[in-house]
Copies of this chain bind each other. A is one copy, B any other.
Amino acid sequence: MAKARIRNRVRELREARGLTQAELAARSGCTRQTIIMLEKEKYVPSLSLAFAVAAVLGDRVEEVFQPEGSSG
């Protein structure tokens, strides 16, 4: 598959907003575990979660998540 590795700035953005993992998880409707895994790039989230997280972080999906080799 074209499962390009996807980088994300969740942690960076989360801390910039002064949110804890638990806070972000609660607001984006997932568990803390999921946020941890996301920050550690253990896997690629679903588009749903990506939208939810991006919304909480106040950025667009394209800003928070970027396929490997995307212009910033």
Contacts and interface: CB of A to CB of B under 8 A. Distances in A.
Residue of A2, A6, A51, A65 with most partner-chain B CB within 10 A: A51
Interface in A20-42: 28-30
Identical chains in the assembly: 2
A62 B30 CA distance: 21
A48 B52 contact: no
List of 7 A-B pairs having minimum Cβ-Cβ separation, nearest first: A2-B29, A2-B52, A51-B67, A47-B50, A44-B48, A3-B48, A1-B29
Interface of A: 1-4, 6, 28-30, 44-52, 55, 60-62, 65, 67
10 contacts: A1-B49, A2-B28, A2-B29, A3-B29, A4-B51, A6-B47, A44-B46, A44-B48, A46-B47, A47-B50
